Amino acid sequence: MIRSNTIQRLLLTALALASMLGGLLISEDASAQAQIQTRKEKIGDFTIKTMKVVLSGNKFNDAALSDAIRNSWSISPYEVCTQEEFEKLMTDSKYYFMVQDLDKEKPDDPGIWLLRVVKGTQGAKKIKDMYEVASFPLCGGDGATGREDAFIPAFLDIIQSHIENSMLSGGNAIPTSSLRKVTMQDIYFVPEDLCPEVQTSYVEGLARKRVLLTDISEQLEIVLNGTLPSLVSYVVAPLSPTKHSVCYLLLIDARTHELYYFKKEKVGGAGRGYRKGNIRDVISHR
């Protein structure tokens, strides 16, 4: 029996070929006229065009990303390139690019490193000038913790799922699964992902709802093994945030890499991490 994801990949490839063929059939006169492309049309060729994975120059980040791409990326051909090559090719619509881009709320904010997938765009001089296909938070702008290396394969699967959904539906937002699906899975939080106002005893008191507090090493073992039907927390935020900083709260299935919870919040005075209200949201259907 053909799996549903295989059928979806075949459908996406057919759509990509149709999109390219449609572009070839447009006459020069027609191309001179004003045309409005939908998002589906703009990225309709994604699966048949090469995505350039741009190295940042940080050997640790680049090594982790390169390994994850090699093991996890499957929806399009890809090649690795340098920053200099990216700057030469960024206006060429024959290519898509995956770049590590620092996003800041204010000049004094350390910011967040994002994984962005963008399309070569005529006249582009910087990443923000390019057509964005997808973006996903990676780590704080003032330094990595090392945890992100274990999570990058999941991030790539989430990005791929988002791009596939965009090609079929034209949607723009990162898809998150309904919290109604958070039913019987164990949920693993680590103290480092909790807002300072949340005492570890609060999470420990939720054991009857299969919410468990663990340390980073055990959580990473669950993520790397990927065999248990477990959900794991992950917070992306600067190590030393300012009042302007933001944090991203994630809850990811360690086995399927499905994204169950995705929320962007201001750090403000409360600090980074899951607050009690966020945890109540996660377990609201138990």
- Alpha-carbon distance 250 to 112, whole Å? 14
Q: Tell me the one-letter amino acid at 15.
A: L
Q: Is the pLDDT of residue 145 over 90?
A: no
Name the least confident of 3-17, 23-37, 171-185.
Answer: 23-37
155-205 pLDDT, tens digit each: 999 999 999 999 988 777 776 667 778 888 999 999 999 999 999 999 999
pLDDT in the model for residue 8: 57
- Alpha-carbon distance 128 to 269, whole Å? 30
pLDDT above 90: percentage of residues in the chain? 67
- Alpha-carbon distance 199 to 189, whole Å? 12
pLDDT in the model for residue 125: 95
44-99 pLDDT, tens digit each: 999 999 999 999 887 777 888 999 999 999 999 999 999 999 999 999 999 999 99
- The mean predicted confidence, pLDDT, of the chain is 87
Q: What Å distances lie between residue 134 and 131, 196, 275, CA to CA?
A: 9, 31, 27
- Alpha-carbon distance 103 to 109, whole Å? 9
pLDDT above 70: percentage of residues in the chain? 86
